């Protein structure tokens, strides 16, 4: 038995999908025409975790619930119709029987409801795969094209840095909301934690971009932390393409980038407590050993500007 079900797209022509990997369940949108014409029935990629599965596994929970409601409505309609037919026939067959007479009053007719399945509202980030041209939409970051699985280092980098910048801009508003909910001291601690972790987020975004770009450029696989070390990362690109970081950054920018990378390392691995190793590697003499680093918004904005400038230059290689 087949039940006809209609699925409508949103106003931009996209419809909802959900990763079937229980450890992910990431939801995204994909252009309905691209889903029909480009995406393989045998292989769909999750934009977040990269999980691969067949095309019939990507229903959202809301879509499954809607389909179950449609199926239940159809089943009840068919059951009622068949019962009315069977008991009506039985009642008619005993109409002239003087020993047995069956009367049957048809139940209220149940109408089959087959309302089209709609989609959630349009999302902010629209992406077009630079390799296959598939159009999809996400909230936050995405790393893989759902059609071909291509990992766009440029798109991921731009999305990550954009998210970090928006977080930094919203810190005053978040601090006010947190103060109302948890008090001034707790709000201050939470916002300071977000600000400090932003350095790690920026370094991570650059590391992923530089690693993917280098691997694509050379056909080799870089080591995990190669691009967290400024001199090493610069030398790798110089050996591969003849240009290091100094091609696009001034001496002061290279110094600041190294210092802020070292501050990120100190925060993550030594709770921000200054030691001799930090002073030696960073060249930062504004602190003495035993003090704790204080990260300011200007530090995060400065590092963002530097890695964006550097990434733009590396993209030309």
Identify the residue with better confidence: 123 or 78.
Answer: 78
CA dihedral 298, 302, 303, 306 (to 10 degrees): 170
Most confident region among 158-162, 216-220, 282-286 by mean pLDDT: 282-286
Is the pLDDT assigned to residue 281 strictly greater than 70?
A: yes
What angle, 0 to 180 degrees and rounded to 10, lies between the N-to-C axes of helices 297-314 and 251-270?
120
Rounded CA gap, 113 and 182, in Å?
48
Domain boundaries, the chain: 1-151, 153-314
Identify the residue with better confidence: 113 or 254.
Answer: 254
Identify the residue with better confidence: 261 or 108.
Answer: 261
Rounded CA gap, 145 and 168, in Å?
28
Q: Could you tell me if 67 and 116 are in contact, meaning their C-beta atoms sit under 8 angstroms apart? A: no
Identify the residue with better confidence: 92 or 161.
Answer: 161
Amino acid 222: pLDDT: 87
Rounded CA gap, 233 and 251, in Å?
16
Mean of pLDDT values over 276-304: 96
Entry field: residues in the chain:
317
The predicted-structure confidence for 163-204, as pLDDT tens digits, reads as follows 899 999 999 999 999 999 999 999 999 999 999 999 999 999
Q: Are strands 14-18 and 27-31 parallel, antiparallel or unpaired?
A: antiparallel
Q: Count Cβ neighbours within 10 Å for each residue of 188-220 and write b for 16 or more, e otherwise.
A: eeebeebbbbbbebbbebbbbbbbbbbeeeeee
Is the pLDDT assigned to residue 240 strictly greater than 50?
A: yes
**Predicted TM-score (pTM) of this structure:** 0.69
Amino acid 110: pLDDT: 46
Is the pLDDT assigned to residue 118 strictly greater than 80?
A: no
Mean of pLDDT values over 36-65: 94
The predicted-structure confidence for 124-148, as pLDDT tens digits, reads as follows 678 899 899 999 998 877 789 999 9
Q: Could you tell me if 245 and 310 are in contact, meaning their C-beta atoms sit under 8 angstroms apart? A: yes
Identify the residue with better confidence: 91 or 160.
Answer: 160
Average pLDDT of the chain, as a whole number: 87
Between the alpha carbon of residue 211 and those of residues 146, 208, 224, 288, 315, the distances in Å are 22, 5, 8, 34, 12
pLDDT confidence bin for 152, thresholds 50/70/90: confident
Is the pLDDT assigned to residue 82 strictly greater than 70?
A: no
């Amino acid at each position: 038995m087949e039940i006809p079900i209609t699925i409508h797209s949103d106003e931009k022509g996209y419809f909802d999908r959900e990763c079937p990997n229980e450890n992910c369940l990431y939801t995204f949108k994909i252009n309905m025409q691209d889903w029909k014409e480009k995406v393989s029935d045998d292989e769909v990629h999750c934009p977040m975790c990269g999980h691969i599965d067949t095309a019939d596994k990507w229903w959202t929970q809301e879509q499954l619930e809607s389909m179950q409601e449609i199926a239940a409505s159809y089943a009840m309609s068919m059951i009622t119709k068949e019962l009315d037919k069977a008991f009506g026939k039985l009642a008619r067959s005993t109409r002239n029987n003087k020993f047995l007479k069956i009367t049957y009053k048809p139940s209220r007719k149940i109408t089959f409801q087959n309302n089209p399945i709609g989609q959630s509202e349009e999302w902010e980030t629209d992406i077009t795969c630079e390799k296959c041209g598939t159009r999809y939409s996400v909230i936050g970051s995405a790393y893989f094209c759902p059609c071909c699985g291509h990992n766009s280092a440029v798109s991921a980098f731009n999305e990550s840095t954009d998210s970090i910048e928006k977080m930094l801009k919203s810190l005053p508003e978040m601090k006010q909301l947190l103060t109302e909910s948890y008090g001034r001291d707790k709000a201050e601690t939470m916002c300071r934690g977000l600000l400090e972790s932003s350095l790690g987020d920026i370094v991570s975004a650059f590391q992923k971009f530089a690693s993917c770009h280098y691997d694509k450029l050379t056909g080799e696989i870089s080591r995990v932390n190669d691009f967290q070390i400024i001199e090493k990362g610069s030398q790798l690109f110089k050996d591969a393409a003849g240009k290091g970081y100094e091609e696009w950054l001034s001496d002061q920018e290279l110094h600041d980038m190294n210092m802020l990378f070292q501050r990120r390392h100190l925060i993550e691995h030594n709770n921000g407590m200054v030691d001799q190793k930090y002073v030696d590697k960073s060249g930062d003499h504004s602190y003495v050993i035993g003090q704790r680093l204080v990260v300011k918004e200007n530090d995060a904005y400065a590092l963002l500007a530097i890695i964006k400038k550097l990434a733009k230059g590396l993209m030309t290689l």
